[in-house]
Amino acid sequence: MIDVRIAEDWKDILRDEFSKPYFEELVHFVRAEYAAGEVYPAGRNIFRAFDKCPFDKLKVVIIGQDPYHGPGQANGLCFSVGEGVPFPPSLQNILREVHDDTGAEIPASGELDRWAEQGVLLLNAVLTVRAHNAASHAGHGWERFTDAVVRAVAERKQGVVYMLWGNYAQRKGAIADPNTNLILRAVHPSPLSAYRGFFGCRHFSAANSYLQQQGKEPILW
């Protein structure tokens, strides 16, 4: 078991995963990468999505693929950037859809902690990346770990909203039962595809309607 900063309920749920041989190999790989050069996010933020959104509070799952690989961008929550960092294009498009869908003002900061703290798990499939080298840590074990995370949510919770944007996220979230959860699918919010169905998907208001039907607090997007 490695010592990671992560909400206690997640630590209990993932304890077995942390002790599996593949995860030990992953830890060795990640440590070597951080020692060898610039890797994002900062080590203390690798598991930040789990620390900011305890399992007990989880209401919504958003799945990303890879952390941002530019300086100062990745902060451990998918699509989120640190305070004062310009919005990457996908985040710009997400916040534009939030505004068009719910009327919420586009915020000055792209830091999505406020979503996580309300119960939105902002989960990247791969949790680390080499600077300026997209998908450089894919295929080393992170995907297996985050599959186990999605499986744990699917098996232990019902009434969860899954926002699955793009084919990759849709494959990863396919384990979730559409009969006992709300599965929202759209193309990825990147500039390459946003105009083909992300804009106008109205996922954020749909999520809140569903949560309210279950007597849960809606998310202040």
What are 112-139's pLDDT values in tens digits?
Answer: 999 999 999 999 999 999 999 999 999 9
Of 60, 86, 54, residue with least CA distance to 73: 86
Per-residue pLDDT, 105: 96
Closest CA to 92 of 203, 191, 212: 191
E-assigned strand segments in the chain? 39-40, 60-64, 120-124, 129-130, 161-165, 182-186
Look up the pTM and report it. 0.97
Which amino acid, 69?
H
Query: Across residues 14-33, what is the average pLDDT?
Result: 96
Q: How far apart are CA 133 and CA 14, in angstroms?
A: 28
Indicate whether 107 pLDDT > 60. Answer: yes
What pLDDT sits at residue 5? 78
Residue 66 among the catalytic residues: yes
Active-site choice (3, 66, 101, 147):
66
Q: How far is CA 113 from CA 25, 53, 122, in A?
A: 30, 9, 9
Looking at residue 1, its pLDDT comes to 42
pLDDT at site 126: 98
Share of the chain above pLDDT 90, in %: 96
